[in-house]
Chains A and B, each alone.
Chain A
């Protein structure tokens, strides 16, 4: 340990300019600008805030850290809050504690290996990460029109089940953050049933690397339909219990209604997506508005809120579980037979049995798993609706088997910008409710 760490100078443990500065270090104009930046408004709009805290006395406010090790900050999110009594005047999220350079790593991995990397970003909905990566690579290869029907429907099945498991986890963590500890147990229990199905299909509960460029890694196992039906038939009564336990309960409503309000204009300006944007009344769901896979062929409703508060965001996610169940029922009806991956020998590894009898199969196998397949030059952006909002994948290819640049547009990274807006003039006791209602996954915020 160096001496300045022992001495405990701020520089030894702090993040310097990334942190929120106290008012005494700032001029009035800087405060205004900082309020504007933290609230993501222009300076002019910030100066028009009626409750502008600029005139407040420095003595009466204090800056405290919430996180990065606070249990209800969902990972390693650190918030610096300026408080006056119990009122939050300013808030600044500080991120990067889970940054592992995954976008840099992606440039070192082939398109075949890339799935293992992206699946670890949003670890609560890994299949959606793999899906958006695969769709982008397929678009670059020009094979997006040749993916077999069954593969597309299988992807929809897994994507919707993953949305259910992710929202069930939200029910659990949201309940725990609000003090409904029994809800945590119920949410995890239901999610575990979905994960058990994933384990049967993909071999893993999380980080599947199952959806791959060209299709999927394997076909659905025998008896999958019964397993899905078991999940679907068990859930409605459980969701009804959630309604009794939370939705209709006065304490729950008191705790969430009117907390963390954001307007539609703010939500659009901040670029938020998913349940946060929809809670403000903007009916924007990429599954309906910019359809991918076969979402045009299934019936479902886009759930929209009206107040933009934490309760709306909770109710939207609860009802999206029901909508996803509706989609999964339709997928069960429409699941065609056929191939689960494209039969393009340059993209798809040959079946294991063929390797023993065919020289070409062995060569293809070897080439794909050592060198990878070459992807034509170009750049492409694909965005899909993950449980948290729009997850996008931007790939630049220079014609080699590795992406020249891979960028993931992470919904949580953008949504977290809405936190200072939602928290301003709220109570510190509501801060946990607001963080929880954003449902951030720090793995994807920091990548």
Chain B
């Protein structure tokens, strides 16, 4: 295996007021929850006009000491990950936001990237993270009366038997 595996140790580089790190050569910025929308606006002004992907990760069972976060970013349980594309410069940019378990909410990016509508619904469905101001905050993949959020790490596979409306118990 080559040296490329080694990730850069917390450099001082900044972009849109956020810390920049490189993961396997991919540019990642770590936004704070407070300036999440402001950071996205700056990214749009900098030609990152397309949001290709928005997803989340639950770091419940991942030791926070080994998560390779830059200095100044405290690892929380949830993390929202956005992948942006600049069509002009042909570049990708990834944005990561830490979200604490107790206050699992984030302002919606819908007004900036309307394409995140379904993705935010999926994250709410799978992780229970709520997006403030989302126009349609309902489940998208799971049935409406489903209990729990399946992609959370404390929701184990096969723990719950088949669970459908009106099924005989």
Chain A contacts to B: CB under 8 angstroms? 1-2, 4-5, 11-18, 33-34, 36-38, 40-42, 95-96, 99, 101, 103-105, 108, 139-146, 268-273, 282, 284, 289-290, 344, 376-381, 383, 390, 392, 394, 396, 398-399, 404-405, 407, 409, 413-414, 416-417, 446-447
Give A268 to B126 CA distance when docked, in angstroms. Answer: 26
Segment from B9-17, B31-39, B97-105, B111-119 that makes contact with A = B111-119
Q: Does A416 lie within 8 Å of B118, measured CB to CB? A: yes
Residues of B within 8 A of A144 (CB): 4
Report the nearest A residue to B49, measured CB to CB.
Answer: A268
Decide yes or no: A105 and B114 within 8 Å by CB, A12-B165, A380-B24 being known contacts: no
Question: What are the residues of chain B within 8 A of A390 when measuring CB–CB?
Answer: 52
Contacts of A103 in B (CB 8 A): 126, 151
A289 proximity list for chain B (CB < 8 A) = 90
One of B23, B53, B141, B168 near A96 (C-beta < 8 A): B141
Q: Check A380/B26 contact, CB under 8 A, given A104-B157, A404-B62.
A: yes
Contact across chains for A269 and B115 when beta carbons are under 8 A apart? yes
Chain B residues near A396: list those with CB within 8 A: 57
Q: What are 16 A-B pairs with beta-carbon distances under 8 A?
A: A1-B166, A41-B114, A141-B5, A142-B4, A268-B50, A271-B115, A344-B1, A378-B24, A380-B23, A381-B92, A383-B92, A392-B53, A399-B66, A414-B52, A414-B119, A417-B115
- Chain B interface, >50% SS class: loop
* Complex CA distance for A344 and B2, rounded to whole angstroms: 12
Given known contacts A146-B2, A405-B58, is B83 in contact with A381 (CB within 8 Å)? yes
Minimum CB–CB distance from A13 to chain B (whole Å) comes to: 8
How far is the CB of A320 from the nearest CB of chain B, in Å?
Answer: 19
What distance in Å separates the Cβ of A81 from its nearest Cβ neighbour in chain B?
A: 17
| B interface, CB within 8 angstroms of A | 1-5, 7, 23-24, 26, 49-53, 55, 57-58, 62, 66, 68, 81, 83, 87, 90, 92, 94, 110-111, 113-119, 122, 126, 135-136, 138-145, 150-151, 157, 165-166, 168
Taking a contact as CB atoms under 8 Å apart, the answer to whether A141 and B1 are in contact is yes
Whether A413 contacts B118 by the Cβ 8 Å rule is: yes
A407 to B57, CA, bound (A): 9
Residues on A with beta carbons closer than 8 Å to the beta carbon of B116 = 271
Chain A residues positioned under 8 Å from B135 (CB to CB): 33-34, 36-37
Q: Interface residues of A: mostly helix, strand, loop or mixed?
A: mixed
CA distance A139 to B23 in the complex (A): 10
In the assembled complex, the Cα of A425 lies from the Cα of B99 at a distance in Å of 40
A273 and B166 in contact (CB under 8 A), knowing A40-B114, A103-B151, A142-B1? no
